[in-house]
Amino acid sequence: MFFDSSFLFDKDALEPHMSRETLEYHWGKHHRAYVDNLNKQIAGTELDEMTLEDVILSTYNKGNLLPPFNNAAQAWNHEFFWESMKPGGGGQPSGELLRLIERDFGSFEEFVKEFKAAAATQFGSGWAWLTYKGNTLDVGNAENPCPSEKDKKLVVVKSPNSVNPLVWNHYPLLTVDVWEHAYYLDFQNRRPDYISTFMEKLVSWEAVSSRLEAAKAKVAEKEKEEEQRQKDEEERLLPNVEMVLESDADDSDPE
């Protein structure tokens, strides 16, 4: 069973950029409904024993969504969204995060422009994301056979409805919710103004930096596991190769 944890800060802590009323509806009603509905859907099933991330991956079902997916993904997305903000946020990142942003987007300003555009042009409900993309090609389900540091990059993506980048094997670092209930009480239909306020006044770059370090560690761990798997496979096949070589040698011996 999953629980809707207590809110990270006082509900008026993000004012005037995000109102207490918005948080009471968005967190107190919408987010809580996703969690409650998910718990009802998975009660007594094998999903009830999984982590929330595993529930999302299991029920995504290669795009043919199973019933619990929407509530599971929205519960995760919202928790991630709240943790992407802080009172007195905004500004610019620093350190490794800023270095990678400048490497992959050309400048921080270009990144902000691309992120805002993704969020503003997501048709209907959905999310915009900054993600860390590991050693994967832009080809469906293809693993890069020759990964390099250039493959480990930051990208901006957008997703419809409840979908999030976990299902694409990306590592989410930052998100903004562009479902209308996220901003209508404060901004009415002015989604671009809401997005600008989010980026300039609310983003917690410390949280994003921490997520980047965790993502890089996970990618490194996966690489080690893959190297070990390949080594084990080579060792498993080696006796067969030696037998073939010995057989070839015997066949070539003159009588």
Summarize pLDDT for 225-237 with one digit per residue, the tens. 777 787 777 777 7
Contact (CB, 8 A) for 204 and 125: no
Q: Can you give the pLDDT at residue 233? A: 79
d(CA 112, CA 63): 29
More confident residue, 147 or 128: 128
Q: Can you give the pLDDT at residue 154? A: 96
Which residue numbers belong to the known binding site? Answer: 26, 78, 177, 181
Q: In this model, does residue 55 exceed pLDDT 80?
A: yes
More confident residue, 87 or 136: 87
Q: What is the mean pLDDT of residues 103-113?
A: 97
Q: Can you give the pLDDT at residue 152? A: 85
Per DSSP, the three-state class of 74 is helix
CB 12: neighbour CB atoms within 10 A? 14
Which residue numbers belong to the known binding site for Mn(2+)? Answer: 26, 78, 177, 181
More confident residue, 144 or 178: 178
More confident residue, 230 or 70: 70
Distance, CA of 153 to chain centre: 13
Q: What is the pTM of this model?
A: 0.85
